[in-house]
Structure 1
Amino acid sequence: MRTLLLSLLFAFVVTSASAQPVPRWMTLPPTPTLPPAVSSGHAPVNGISIWYATFGSGPPVILLHGGLANSNYWGHQVPELAKTHRVIVMDSRGHGRSTRDAQPYGYALMASDVIGLMDFLGVPQAAVVGWSDGAIIGLSMAMTNPQRVSRLFAFAANSDPGGVKDVTKSPVFMEFIARGQKEYEALSATPRDYKKFVDEISTMWATQPNWTARDLAGITVHTWIVDADHDEAIKRENTEFMAGAIPNAGLLLQPEVSHFSMLQAPQQFTDDIRRFLERKWD
């Protein structure tokens, strides 16, 4: 009888443990889709073709996706933001539906692509929301073209390669890279070049950006430095360094999420963007 009770108790403990939900920061929810656009197409920018789409009307806000990804990752945020803003998404050069040329990938070059798209669309100034590489592109824009950026929400950026963790140790990030291949093959004009694409982006990650505290101190755009409390790619100390170096920058850590916060807790992410866009500065 005692043996039977112990066996039942062990089975209950094992079953209960296996039934525990996986923490959301350890998941990679499906990539969403974008809603129907007001306009979309390919813009000739810097000798390449940049895919873009616009939604809603009002003050413009540009959403910039992370490395290896595409604009579809903003599918949860666009419908809500489009209620009050003209939302613009774009696939970075060589990503998604956009093409590239022989120039090496670089954040300054990709920042100039965003400016080029703004010129094409007749947008003199916009708020910028960036994720990972998109956040770094936004920071580059704030440094070189501050008059074009009304405010900057920079999620999961790093100021130099030393601020990045070894993402190969993260099952979630490796799952993202594998997913990226399927999405690249489905969207890209060069669907068989994913390995070359990853190698070249990885070279950029290993060598850029290289911003000092003095560089960041020159940013005059209203900025929030944002990250996840379980980011598997960005070191917390680098996030705090950037927030401390940029004058009057806000620091926000989103709870119980990782580098893929916009998928893991989409409403939380969207609400944070909305609070940022509605923030009043003196």
Structure 2
Amino acid sequence: MIRSLILASAILATTLPALGEPVGDYVDVNGMRMYYEKSGSGDPLIVLHGAYMNIPTMGTIIGRLAETHEVYALETQGHGRTNDLDRPITYPNMAGDVAAFMDAVGIEKADIVGYSMGAATGLRLAIDHPEKVDQLVAVSVSYDMEGAQPEFLAMIPTMAPEMFIGSPMEDAWKQFAPDPDGFRPFVERMIALEHEPLAWGEDVGKLDVPVLIIAGDADMMTLEHLVSMFKLLGGGMAGDMGNPLSTSRLAILPATSHTAVIDQTDLLMGFIDPFLKGETPKGMFDQ
């Protein structure tokens, strides 16, 4: 999942791709004017960005998803064109915001595609509001901080607003922010998010929502952690032995760091598209 400084360079380096003809709008959600863009047609699908990101920095994945779905790309609290609040930024709060957004625009149930912080928000949404989630694509996600890479865990206590204030990252944030003077409190809330308890193993083990886990082989969580999550979701068993495959799936992108995951659109869609369609490769024992 996102963890602050790691993603900053990706935000600044990402170009603004053409997303076809998305329609931007606002909706009142839990005291915010939440900005979203709607594109495509088909079954509803909600896209959730990573920390310090916005809709454009998600790259071309939104446009590709809109080829087969009615896509709602959201900008969460304090991100992009959505205003910040005097309220902690936490995963339960953000999941509640997504649920309220769905109610506000009349979406009963949707597929969810989230990256990093957005993936953890989607996972929390599936835990807290399972009736609203059809299928979840969780890209670069952790369900427990113990699964984070040791180097990242060591960095968290050193985070301070001064690392961000006055940087090009602040300039990029101000381009969309409704309150350009609100960067410091926003960063303080984002740093506090890194210290929020994250230990959802028991909840993940109870999920009945199909989940596609995607991560890089050099991501911010260990490979062992990703495999443990897959097993909690019922995966990791032998196929070709007469038992049905798990509805959840695991995909690891080679030679890929955390910030390199989201820009590999063709590779991502090669995993996401058949998952959302419920398609599985046929083995020699399949009829």
TM range (shorter): 0.7 to 0.9
Aligned length: 246
Secondary structure, aligned partner of 1:209: coil
User: What is the aligned-residue identity percentage?
Assistant: 27
Query: Which residue of 63, 69, 92 maps to 1:108?
Result: 92
> Is the 1:65–1:134 contact (alpha carbons within 8 Å) kept by the matching residues of 2?
yes
Distance 1:235 1:179, change over 3 A: farther
What is the match of residue 122 of structure 2? 138
Match of 2:139 in 1: 155
Among 223, 242, 251, the alignment partner of 1:236 is: 223
Whether contact under 8 Å (1:69, 1:180) holds in the other structure is: no
2:285 aligned residue? none
Q: Tell me, in whole angstroms, the C-alpha distance in 2 between the residues paired with 1:75 and 1:266.
A: 8
For 1:70, give the aligned amino acid: N
For the pair 1:94 / 2:78, whether they are aligned, the reply is yes
TM-score by length of 2: 0.78
2:177 maps to amino acid: S
Amino acid at match of 1:35: L
Q: Which runs of 5+ in 1 are unaligned?
A: 1-26, 170-176
Q: Would the alpha carbon gap of residues 34 and 148 (structure 1) be closer, same or farther in structure 2, given more than 3 Å must change?
A: farther
Q: What CA distance in whole angstroms lies between the structure 2 residues aligned with 1:269 and 1:180?
A: 26
Off by >3 Å, runs of 4+ in structure 1? 165-169, 177-180, 261-264
Structure 2 unaligned runs (5+)?
Answer: 1-8, 156-163, 235-245, 281-287
**Which of 181, 184, 197 is equivalent to 1:192?**
181
Which of 197, 212, 232 matches 1:245? 232
Alignment of 1:199-278 (within 5 A): 199-212=188-201, 214-231=202-219, 233-247=220-234, 248=246, 249-278=248-277
Q: 1:71 to 1:179 in 2, by over 3 A?
A: farther
8 Å Cα contact 1:34/1:74 also seen in 2: no
Structure of greater Rg: 1
> Quick one: distance in 2 between partners of 1:271 and 1:181?
34
Alignment CA distance shift 1:219-1:264 (3 Å): same
TM-score in terms of structure 1 length: 0.80
Deviation readout 1:187-213 (Å, 9 max, x if unpaired)? 11122333432232121122232213x
Q: Hey, what does 1:76 align to over in structure 2?
A: 60
Name the aligned partner's letter for residue 192 of structure 1: D
| Aligned position for 2:30 | 46
The corresponding residue for 1:10 is none
Contact in 2 for aligned 1:96/1:183 (Cα 8 Å):
no
